[in-house]
């Protein structure tokens, strides 16, 4: 009797669980099983203010996020999905003005570095997940940009790649 009850309850449950159509991971990504490969193309820097290694740093950061948080294989050429785009904005502007005591012009107490990336994601198997949009993130800093620029770029790249990754794979 117990064996019969076990088979009546457990076997159908196992069969139903095997028919699920999405793989879930701990980071919230939902990757369809037919999606096995992705081609992440080089994100060219077309911003008016250009940092020499910005394109390389961003493209590699996005590839690393996909590599570390999914089971997708990164390929060149034909793939189940493609990610392409460009860096369209890189601006340094005052974020907070600081008054001076001797009737001089006010100075920037905080400065903001903003980076904008336009990304296009194409899922060959399921076009409803396709998108093309811009993502912007920023970091504020004090003083000169030169000593902190590379660490600011790394921090902003981390935020941008997380936004793009979530838009493509977490369907938020």
Q: Is residue 84 part of a domain?
A: yes
Q: How many CA atoms lie within 13 A of 27 on its CB side?
A: 17
Residue 2 maps to a domain:
no
CA distance 82 to 129: 12
27 within some domain: no
Alpha helices in 19-171 (DSSP H): 54-69, 149-165
Residue 26 has pLDDT above 70, yes or no: no
Structural domain containing residue 71: 32-170
Q: Residue 19 pLDDT more than 60?
A: no
Q: Please, what sign has the CA dihedral across residues 57, 43, 70, 30?
A: positive
Query: Do the beta carbons of residue 40 and residue 66 sit within 8 Å?
Result: yes
Q: Which two tokens stand for residue 162?
A: 């997380």
CA pair distance 97, 111, nearest whole angstrom: 9
Using the Cα atoms of residue 139, residue 171, residue 28 and residue 120 in order, give the sign of their dihedral. Answer: negative
* Residue 93, pLDDT score: 94
Helix axes 149-165, 54-69, angle to 10 degrees: 40
Q: Is residue 24 pLDDT above 50, yes or no? A: no
Q: Token digits for 102?
A: 């001797």
Band of pLDDT at residue 159, cut at 50, 70 and 90: very high
**pLDDT single digits (tens) 91-129:** 999 887 766 677 677 666 799 999 999 999 999 989 999
User: Would 5 be classed as within a structural domain?
Assistant: no
Mean pLDDT of the residues in the chain: 85
Do the domain assignments include residue 26? Answer: no
Total domain count for the chain? 1
CATH number of residue 48's parent domain: 3.30.160.150
């Amino acid at each position: 009797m117990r064996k019969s009850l076990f088979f009546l309850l457990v076997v159908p449950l196992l069969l139903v669980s095997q028919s699920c159509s999405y793989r879930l991971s701990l980071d919230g990504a939902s990757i369809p099983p037919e999606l096995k490969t992705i081609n992440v193309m080089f994100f060219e820097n077309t911003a008016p203010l250009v940092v020499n290694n910005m394109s390389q740093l961003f493209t590699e950061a996005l590839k690393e996020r996909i590599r570390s948080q999914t089971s997708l294989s990164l390929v060149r050429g034909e793939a189940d999905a493609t990610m392409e785009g460009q860096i369209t904005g890189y601006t340094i502007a005052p974020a907070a003005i600081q008054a001076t005591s001797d009737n001089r012009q006010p100075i920037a107490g905080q400065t903001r570095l903003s980076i904008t990336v336009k990304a296009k994601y194409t899922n060959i198997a399921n076009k409803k997940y396709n998108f093309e949009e811009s993502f912007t993130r920023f970091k504020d800093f004090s003083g000169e940009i030169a000593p902190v620029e590379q660490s600011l770029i790394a921090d902003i790249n981390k935020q941008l790649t997380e936004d793009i990754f979530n838009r493509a794979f977490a369907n938020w």
